[in-house]
């Protein structure tokens, strides 16, 4: 989840997509199951956010992580005024215990963190960053729609300017060195794919398919009549051939996936300010200084939470 500014919009046209496949469910995470399948990472924020990532015991004790039935919630503290010289606002960063290579992940998310200073993300990353690559499925800052999905890699990975997707490409060079960590991103075509419009619609489904020849990302809003039944129901078998054109399509034709993407952990996190949200805080219409805003306005983070219904993994 590196700095991915929305820059230089380039049009996406047509190119031959890779072939999809039928997949069988290998993992299903819901409610309390997330506590068994993911680890709370109490680490310094690598994106320099004004957050203090806490361990599981602290998160549960402070109600920053909780579950009820099919609701799994992670959120930032919304009660504490922070000392300017002290640590950042308590928040949560989860990492999957399992690692994945080629697979499909489908997320049913009811609510994502919103508000000035927020930088939520759902993503996958290898241990040796950026050499083993990163795939951002859900990411944005300061309530600026739409959602952006991005690849971050080592040198030598680019995307064609024209390819079959409904979203709009930002950069086509995925190298973190070449792009100041921006990578190659694609903006979703609908505003309700991120932030307050996403939440107002009751959330939706994100899906990511990673193969040896392409990576695709789809989004369907909660009331979207075109959502495939296997996606909406979290079916045990899925067929990505029936999902239509993805909004983000990353083919391997100018990027050797075998050398740029390794085993990935899945990450769910909420940071505040930092390298992206802090850098564009005022440009996005947020008041004053980002760090001061986070320190002094705990009630502004009442809606800074994920509510995840489930995550299904297919292989």
- Active-site annotation, residues: 134, 139
Q: Are strands 248-251 and 148-152 parallel, antiparallel or unpaired?
A: unpaired
- Of the CA atoms within 13 Å of residue 240, those in its CB half-sphere come to 29
Please give the Cα distance from 42 to 267 (Å, whole number): 13
The answer to whether 117 and 287 are in contact (CB under 8 A) is no
Phi and psi torsions of 272, nearest 5°? -130, 140
Query: Other C-beta atoms within 10 Å of 65: how many?
Result: 23
Sign of CA pseudo-dihedral 238, 261, 30, 92: negative
Beta bridge partners of 178: none
Please give the Cα distance from 296 to 310 (Å, whole number): 34
Please give the Cα distance from 240 to 157 (Å, whole number): 25
Helix-then-strand count for the chain, H and E = 7, 19
Q: Which of 248, 290, 258 is nearest to 115 (CA)?
A: 290
- Of the CA atoms within 13 Å of residue 83, those in its CB half-sphere come to 3
Q: DSSP strand E in 81-232: where?
A: 89-91, 93-96, 103-111, 118-125, 134-139, 148-152, 168-169, 184-187, 204-210, 214-221
Q: Are strands 51-53 and 89-91 parallel, antiparallel or unpaired?
A: parallel
């Amino acid at each position: 989840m590196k700095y991915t500014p929305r820059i230089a919009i380039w049009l996406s046209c047509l190119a031959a997509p890779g072939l999809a496949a039928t997949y069988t469910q290998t993992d299903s995470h819901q409610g309390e199951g997330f506590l068994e399948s993911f680890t709370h990472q109490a680490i310094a924020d690598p994106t320099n956010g004004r957050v203090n990532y806490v361990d599981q015991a602290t998160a549960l004790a402070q109600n920053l992580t909780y579950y009820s039935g099919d609701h799994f919630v992670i959120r930032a503290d919304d009660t504490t005024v922070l000392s300017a010289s002290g640590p950042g606002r308590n928040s949560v960063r989860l990492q999957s215990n399992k690692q994945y290579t080629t697979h499909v992940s489908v997320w049913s998310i009811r609510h994502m963190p919103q508000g000035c200073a927020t930088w939520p993300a759902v993503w996958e990353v290898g241990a040796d960053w950026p050499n083993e690559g990163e795939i951002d499925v859900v990411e944005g800052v300061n309530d600026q729609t739409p959602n952006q999905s991005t690849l971050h890699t080592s040198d030598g990975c680019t995307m064609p300017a024209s390819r079959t997707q409904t979203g709009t490409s930002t950069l086509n060079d995925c190298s973190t060195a070449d792009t100041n960590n921006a990578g190659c991103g694609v903006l979703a075509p609908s505003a309700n794919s991120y932030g307050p419009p996403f939440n107002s619609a009751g959330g939706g489904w994100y899906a990511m398919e990673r193969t040896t020849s392409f990576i695709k990302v789809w989004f369907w809003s909660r009331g979207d009549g075109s959502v495939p039944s296997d996606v909406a129901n979290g079916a045990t078998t899925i067929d990505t051939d029936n999902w239509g054109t993805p909004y983000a399509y990353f083919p391997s034709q100018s990027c050797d996936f075998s050398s740029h993407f390794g085993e990935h952990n899945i990450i769910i996190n909420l940071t505040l300010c930092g390298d992206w949200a802090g850098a564009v805080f005022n440009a996005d219409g947020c008041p004053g200084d980002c760090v001061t805003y986070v320190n002094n306005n705990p009630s502004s983070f009442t809606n800074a939470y994920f509510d995840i219904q489930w995550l299904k993994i297919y292989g």
